[in-house]
Amino acid sequence: MSRTVKKIQFAPQMPKALRVAAYARVSSGKDAMLHSLAAQVDYYSTYIRHHPGWEYVGVYADEAKTGTKDSRENFQRMLADCRAGRIDHIITKSISRFSRNTVTLLETVRELKELGISIYFEEQSIDTATADGELMFSVLASYAQEESLSASENQKWRVKRNFEAGIPWRFFLLGYRREGDKLVAVPEEAEIVRSIFADYLAGKGVTAITRRLNESGYVTQNGCIFHKSAVERILRNYTYTGNLLLQTKFRENHLTKVTRKNCGELPRYHAADTHEAIISPETFKAVQAEIQRRKEKYAPGKPQKASPFSGRITCANCGKHYRRKTTATGPVWICSTYNSYGKAHCPSKAIPEEKLMQAAAQVGRMGKITAITAHNNNLLEFTLADGTRTVQRWQDRSRAESWTPEMRIAAGEKTRERSQRHAES
């Protein structure tokens, strides 16, 4: 019996479209550079869309970010999309636009190569997909890093000369404007600063001061509402005394850009009477002493054990976390927005800790609770480890419940004093 063999022909497959993205970056926030970035984005979008066999993925662009940092938001987003298998090929203007850190650059390129993703650097005409591409790439990457180092050293030299002359390098501070090499007080802002120092010495806390500023309609130099951190920085800023303390911080190197406190690694510079004082040295000294006194009073000894509710309660109105606060009637959990800025910014209510614990007990073991959402009308939504959700309602304290033993004693003494005064009259 003869054997019959047939040749099977497969239909020719259409080549798969290459998924292409571009990366663009400018290292300055100046208008001209930002216009340049917009032009790059437009150019790459048009170029990729009109290239045969290419599928447009997008243009990832970072404004005013240095190429030595790994914290570039859109650069990291592009890498995440690469790892997710959404990109096959990347186009960028030059090696320095991609990164000036040789180690980071090589690691990134090699990681992408292992994922099957190639990079084309237009200015150097280097494609990492070719055999000799990585060799040329390594040489030019080292050159880019040295170029960054040279620029960094020149910048350091200029900063040092300014410090030696008692001139701040960069300056952005509520109460002052820089005019040439001099600082000029802004009367309206100076009054805000004085009120902050006065409130603090009068016994008000940073939270209360922050709330007062926002309720009064005051804004920062950026036109934003005040945050506690901004008030704290103002209270600690020596510049308000009319003197300058320069080089209190420094950057470790031009690659990481990590800023460290200067603890003697570099010289500091003190420039006296360089500008109009908003706060007297005596007032500033008194505030620093008060800061230290409160720190020792409210944070003595070893740190307190974190509550099981910490970081788990979210406000349904504003999305911020609740924080624990000690009041005259006992500990409560309060929305951080409400606590800092008042009811006008968030209408949430403070939850007595005892009520929170009672509601949690109705749900089950605390270890099973992964998240708590605080809604209006005293509703608490508990999310458990298995994904299930349950809602509990907590009850407001009665007037009797809100009284502590200390408050009862104080009230009794006041009653007796009133009775005695009435009897004497």
Greater confidence, 366 or 315? 315
Going by their DSSP bridges, the two strands 330-335 and 369-374 should be labelled as unpaired
- Is 111 among the domain residues? yes
The pLDDT of 215-220, averaged and rounded, is 87
With cut-offs at 50, 70 and 90, classify the pLDDT of residue 194: very high
Mean confidence (pLDDT) of the chain: 78
Instruction: Answer yes or no: do 77 and 51 share one domain.
Output: yes
Instruction: Answer yes or no: do 289 and 375 share one domain.
Output: no
From 270, 298, 326, give the residue that closes a domain: 298
Greater confidence, 162 or 220? 220
For residue 306, give the amino acid letter: A
Q: Which of 23-32, 33-42, 126-135, 225-234 has the highest mean pLDDT?
A: 225-234
Q: What is the pLDDT of residue 387?
A: 79
- Is 412 among the domain residues? no
DSSP codes of every residue in 358-415: HHHHHH--GGGEEEEEE-STTEEEEEETTS-EEEEEPPPPPTTTT--HHHHHHHHHHH
Identify whether the C-beta of residue 179 lies closer than 8 Å to the C-beta of residue 284: no
From 271, 298, 325, give the residue that closes a domain: 298
Instruction: Answer yes or no: do 117 and 188 share one domain.
Output: no
Model confidence, pTM: 0.43
From 275, 298, 321, give the residue that closes a domain: 298
- Is 273 among the domain residues? yes
Q: What CATH number does the domain containing 121 carry? A: 3.40.50.1390
Q: How far apart are CA 414 and CA 409, in angstroms?
A: 9
Q: Could you give phi then psi for residue 88, rounded to 5 degrees?
A: -110, -30
- The count of structural domains within the chain is 3
Instruction: Answer yes or no: do 101 and 201 share one domain.
Output: no
| SS3 assignment, position 82 | helix
Over residues 360-416, the pLDDT tens digits come to 888 876 678 888 999 988 999 998 888 788 888 988 866 555 555 666 676 667 777
Instruction: Answer yes or no: do 75 and 190 share one domain.
Output: no
Instruction: Answer yes or no: do 193 and 266 share one domain.
Output: yes
Domain housing 237: 165-298
Instruction: Answer yes or no: do 32 and 126 share one domain.
Output: yes
Q: What is the pLDDT of residue 68?
A: 47
Instruction: Answer yes or no: do 272 and 321 share one domain.
Output: no
Instruction: Answer yes or no: do 319 and 218 share one domain.
Output: no
Instruction: Give the rounded distance of the alpha carbon of 85 from its chain centre.
Output: 29
